[in-house]
Amino acid sequence: MLKLFRRPAQVYPLQLLHSYWSPVFDRFAEAVLIVDQYLNIYKSNITWQHFSQSDMQDLSLSLYPEDVHKLKSLLSSPQLTESCRIRLRDAQQNLRWFELSANYLVSQPETQQYYWCLLLSDHTEKIKQQYRQSAQQRSLNDLIKRLPMMLYRSRNDFDWTMEYLSDGCVDVTGYAPTELLNTPRFGQMIHPDDAPYVWSSVQDALNQKGIFDVIYRILLDGEQVVWVQDLGWGVYSESDMILAVEGVIWRTAEQMPEPIIDSISLKK
């Protein structure tokens, strides 16, 4: 296997490979290379030369070690087009991410050597941004999981049929999110004496495109009374149809005041 991957560059095909090269490649923002399956470089455009700042003829010297075998394996048999993501070190040894498109050119049957044209597009900043967003999302999800409150999205029906619930659902209701999703169970937990008040208060706020803030009782296991506070708002279509209700619910020691409705219009 080592011998296979270390085969030196062949001289014979150079003239043939020149026929696949175009001066237009030097105008590309992407790096363009003609290589064989052993990553010997036969031709390169100006973008690649600026990136590498050397006349190296071995692409593997710039590749991140873990990606060398991946790319050689990708080029080990002729296909029409292959693609993958690789990491390369620039002349200052900074690691950069590239989207690679490999287009098969021709083979040399007597040596079982395959030749490819590689198009390398630098996606470093895009991938760094994705990593930052992913890290931020993980931090936000971790925070939501630790909060003793329930973030929700529900249908605007009398049962408050839940379409999304955070893990804080357990702290508020005693149920796991999966036990309440797409069921009428949460609406049935609301104390019968409070259910009309909750419905009318929320509808008044939604009709004004405002924020509702209501306090009411829910019944755990049909018996234990728990007071909760529900702060939420509507989700609207472009034609002002109410698509859903979103908000957050947490347990509170306070008891039911007069309905509180914030009629400040929400931005869509």
Cα–Cα distance between 231 and 174 in angstroms, integer? 19
- Residue 133 is predicted with a pLDDT of 74
- Residue 142 is predicted with a pLDDT of 67
- Report which residue type is found at 30: E
Cα–Cα distance between 171 and 250 in angstroms, integer? 8
125/158 same-domain check? no
Domain boundary among 69, 94, 129: 129
For the chain (length 268 residues), average pLDDT per consecutive 10? 40 70 92 93 93 88 91 84 86 90 85 89 84 68 72 94 92 92 94 96 95 95 90 92 94 64 44
Q: What is the DSSP letter of 264?
A: P
- Report which residue type is found at 136: Q
77/160 same-domain check? no
Long-range contacts of 129-133 (CB under 8 A, 24+ apart): none
Cα–Cα distance between 117 and 20 in angstroms, integer? 9
113 within domain boundaries: yes
- Residue 158 is predicted with a pLDDT of 93
- Residue 135 is predicted with a pLDDT of 66
Residue appearing with tokens 């760094």: 128
Domain boundary among 63, 98, 129: 129
166/110 same-domain check? no
The answer to whether 98 touches 78, Cβ cutoff 8 Å, is no
- Residue 79 is predicted with a pLDDT of 73
100 within domain boundaries: yes
179/212 same-domain check? yes
154/252 same-domain check? yes
116/198 same-domain check? no
84/182 same-domain check? no
141 within domain boundaries: no
User: Terminal CA-to-CA distance of the chain, rounded, Å?
Assistant: 60
Return the CATH number at 107: 3.30.450.20
Cα–Cα distance between 194 and 111 in angstroms, integer? 83
* 3 state DSSP class of 261: strand
Residue appearing with tokens 């290379």: 33
What does residue 253 show for φ and ψ, rounded to 5 degrees?
-90, -10
Which residues does residue 32 pair with via DSSP β-bridges, in sequence order?
A: 119
Residues 6+ apart with CB under 8 A from 159: 184, 186, 187, 188
84/199 same-domain check? no
How many independent structural domains does the chain possess?
Answer: 2
Residues 6+ apart with CB under 8 A from 97: 85, 86, 87, 122, 123, 124, 127
267 within domain boundaries: no
Its domain, for residue 153, covers: 147-262
15 within domain boundaries: yes
Residue 54 tokens read as 């050397």
